[in-house]
Amino acid sequence: MLRKISLSLIALLFVAPTGVSAKEHPHFVEPKLYVTKGGKATPQVALTLDACSGQTDLRILNALVDNHIPATIFVTGRWLKRNVAALGVMKAHADLFELENHGLNHVPAIDDQPTMFGLKTAGSQAAIQSEIQGGVDALQTAAITKPAWYRDATARYSDDAITLIHQLGYRVAGYSLNADMGASLMAGQVEKRITAAKDGDVIIAHVNQPGRVAGEGVVKGILALKQKGFRFVRLEDTQETERSPQPGA
């Protein structure tokens, strides 16, 4: 079992998209998340992987198991139904994998615009809550501990969705380094992005696209970080605090 790592804090920032007016995207926030730096001797990052739907990229899963690299996996109810074998591997390595809520059907937690990156948004507070609770129910049906974190589809939210998530007792899982842009990048691009991670980064990538080359880059990138002496932590191994956006952020 991995020894629990006590970190002093995580900084959660809410950043509005650049170059877009509030009128075009009202109440739109993109949370950023960092773990406390480990220092020059033992820099550390949190690897978070989204399992949106579809299948499982065994290149990534096997590399994590073989190299004993911990990760936080955000799973949807849709993915859980279709990936029983992969889920079994994750549950068998509970020292490595923290399983958290990515919603029931992979729906953006946005109620003031119809789509986000081509995905139909929840459209209302009631629908956002249903998506969150549906994910919780799916996790508990799969005999997984009740989640502490929530990450919606696209990792972008309306302001009141952030408030609702907190009211429901969950933390919003932002990130600071987008490794694969929804598994859309070439392997070399993904590898380069991950290899350039800095001490304290929270990395987001995808583990549900085995047919795309991005997964190869995820593997090479995380192994490169390990070779450089980085330590990987899970979100549940940390203590965190949140702070409001600063002027000009």
pLDDT per residue as tens digits for the range 143-176: 999 999 999 999 999 999 999 999 999 999 999 9
pLDDT per residue as tens digits for the range 27-78: 678 999 999 899 999 999 999 999 999 999 999 999 999 999 999 999 999 9
| Number of compact structural domains in the chain | 1
The per-residue pLDDT for 9 is: 36
pLDDT per residue as tens digits for the range 110-121: 888 888 878 888
For residue 101, what are the domain limits?
A: 26-237
User: How does residue 243 score in pLDDT terms, banded at 50, 70 and 90?
Assistant: very low
Instruction: For residue 41, tell me if it sits in a domain.
Output: yes
Instruction: For residue 8, tell me if it sits in a domain.
Output: no
Lowest pLDDT segment from 32-36, 124-128, 153-157, 241-245: 241-245
Lowest pLDDT segment from 93-102, 119-128, 189-198, 212-221: 119-128
Residue 174 sits in a domain whose CATH number is 3.20.20.370
Instruction: For residue 190, tell me if it sits in a domain.
Output: yes
Instruction: For residue 249, tell me if it sits in a domain.
Output: no
Instruction: For residue 74, tell me if it sits in a domain.
Output: yes
Instruction: For residue 170, tell me if it sits in a domain.
Output: yes
User: How does residue 7 score in pLDDT terms, banded at 50, 70 and 90?
Assistant: very low
Above 90 in pLDDT, residue 214? yes
What are the C-alpha distances in Å from 226 to residues 25, 44, 47, 173?
A: 39, 10, 12, 23
The per-residue pLDDT for 239 is: 52
User: How does residue 26 score in pLDDT terms, banded at 50, 70 and 90?
Assistant: low
What average pLDDT does the segment 214-243 reach? 87
